[in-house]
């Protein structure tokens, strides 16, 4: 190979390297990834670790996990630019879009249910609550005020379909903090009736925390659009596009199994307009 050709190849390599560097102008040096607390902090980090490792490798940027003490903490952290990416439920996403400039990139494509999931009301199998009517005057647990399946959807069912106010129908209404807390509390008998969703129930069963036979499903909602991974819209478009492309290609078998996913599907902000509408109607019915 001639000296001129070697020089040309070296120049091309330098220009290519410069072009790649320019593509990454403004990218975070560390990707701070927030997770809503559907389960315990260490369990959530462990479950998402294969995805985080994959993002690090694909994007060439280290990933740091943050599990919020509650859903609002994740929204606030993104609002304060302490998070670059967040895994949200639909209701926490619309709050993050409104307050933190979050933009949905991809959404869960679950092993059970695909790109949708269901809110459920559960009680202990073999216990005194076999129908919703049996729950009158009992203690009830939602998950979190920013949870879709653990608050908004069951609340709308109470107010709009059943025409009952939870604080009047139940003896006491509490927030358990995570879906796993509701599932375990009901299975252990410390929560008589609670709201969660089919996916988090499946995850608890898959982990061996409960058996499906421990619980009775009293009600199942219509399909809810699955939760998105969202990015702050003020981050470079090149970063957003690269991240979306990487997430859509995530196919690590173990990682997907831990997340109970077939993969990720493309998401758009408009996918969550039905949740915005439901939120407005439910808030109006609360007054």
Domain boundaries, the chain: 28-111+226-286, 119-222
CATH architecture entry for 119-222? 3-Layer(aba) Sandwich (3.40)
Q: Return the C-alpha torsion angle 230, 275, 124, 129, nearest 10.
A: 170
Which one, of 148, 158, 146, 142, lies nearest residue 191 by Cα?
142
- pTM: predicted TM-score of the whole model, two decimal places: 0.86
C-alpha–C-alpha distance, residues 195 and 121, integer Å:
5
Q: What is the pLDDT of residue 3?
A: 56
DSSP 153-207: HHHHIIIIIS---HHHHSSEEEE-SSHHHHHHHHHHTSSSEEEEEHHHHHHHHHT
Query: In sequence order, what are the residues at sequence separation of 6 or more whose Cβ sits closer than 8 angstroms to the Cβ of residue 267?
Result: 104, 105, 106, 107, 228, 229
Segment holding 78, helix H or strand E = helix 71-79
Which one, of 103, 104, 94, lies nearest residue 280 by Cα?
94
Which residue bears the tokens 């740091």?
64
C-alpha–C-alpha distance, residues 36 and 31, integer Å:
16
pLDDT per residue over 213-232, tens digit each? 999 999 999 999 999 999 99
Q: What is the pLDDT of residue 23?
A: 73
pLDDT at 53 over 50: yes
pLDDT per residue over 77-115, tens digit each? 999 999 999 999 999 999 999 999 999 999 999 998 899
C-alpha–C-alpha distance, residues 35 and 14, integer Å:
39
Give 208 or 30, the one with higher predicted confidence: 30
38 pLDDT tier (thresholds 50, 70, 90): confident
CATH architecture entry for 28-111+226-286? 3-Layer(aba) Sandwich (3.40)
Q: What is the mean pLDDT of the chain?
A: 92
- The residues with which 232 forms a beta bridge, in sequence order, are 102
C-alpha–C-alpha distance, residues 275 and 224, integer Å:
8
Q: What is the mean pLDDT of residues 171-190?
A: 96
pLDDT at 17 over 50: no
18 pLDDT tier (thresholds 50, 70, 90): very low
pLDDT at 19 over 50: no
pLDDT at 4 over 50: yes
Q: Is 44 exposed, middle or buried (0-12, 13-18, 19+ CB in 10 A)?
A: buried
C-alpha–C-alpha distance, residues 251 and 249, integer Å:
6
Same fold, 28-111+226-286 and 119-222: yes
Q: What is the pLDDT of residue 286?
A: 81
C-alpha–C-alpha distance, residues 230 and 174, integer Å:
29
Pairing of strands 193-197, 119-124: antiparallel
pLDDT per residue over 129-152, tens digit each? 999 999 999 999 999 999 999 999
Which residue bears the tokens 């949708």?
116
**Where would I find the beta strands (DSSP E) of 2-127?**
31-35, 63-67, 85-87, 102-110, 116-117, 119-124
Q: What is the pLDDT of residue 183?
A: 97
C-alpha–C-alpha distance, residues 84 and 61, integer Å:
12
């Amino acid at each position: 190979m001639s000296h001129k050709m070697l020089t040309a190849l070296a120049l091309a390599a330098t220009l290519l390297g410069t072009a790649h560097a320019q593509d990454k102008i403004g990218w975070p040096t560390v990707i701070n990834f927030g997770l809503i607390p559907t389960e315990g902090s260490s369990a959530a980090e462990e479950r998402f670790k294969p995805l985080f490792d994959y993002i690090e490798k694909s994007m060439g940027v280290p990933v740091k996990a943050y599990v919020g003490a509650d859903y609002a903490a994740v929204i606030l952290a993104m609002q304060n630019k302490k998070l670059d990416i967040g895994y949200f439920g639909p209701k926490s996403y619309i709050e993050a879009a409104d307050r933190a400039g979050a933009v949905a990139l991809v959404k869960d494509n679950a092993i059970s249910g695909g790109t949708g999931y269901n809110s459920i009301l559960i009680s202990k199998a073999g216990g005194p609550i076999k129908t919703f009517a049996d729950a009158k005057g009992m203690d009830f647990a939602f998950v979190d005020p920013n949870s879709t399946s653990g608050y908004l959807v069951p609340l709308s069912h109470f107010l709009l379909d059943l025409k009952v106010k939870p604080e009047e129908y139940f003896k006491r209404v509490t927030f358990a903090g995570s879906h796993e807390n509701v599932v375990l509390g009901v299975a252990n008998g410390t929560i008589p009736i609670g709201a969660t969703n089919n996916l988090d129930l499946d995850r608890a069963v898959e982990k061996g925390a409960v058996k499906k036979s421990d619980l009775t499903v009293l009600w199942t909602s219509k399909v809810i659009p699955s939760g998105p991974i969202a990015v702050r819209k003020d981050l470079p478009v090149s970063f957003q596009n690269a991240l979306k492309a990487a997430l859509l290609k995530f196919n690590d078998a173990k990682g997907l199994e831990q997340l109970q996913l077939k993969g990720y599907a493309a998401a758009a902000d408009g996918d969550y307009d039905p949740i915005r509408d439901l939120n407005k109607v439910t808030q109006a019915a609360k007054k």
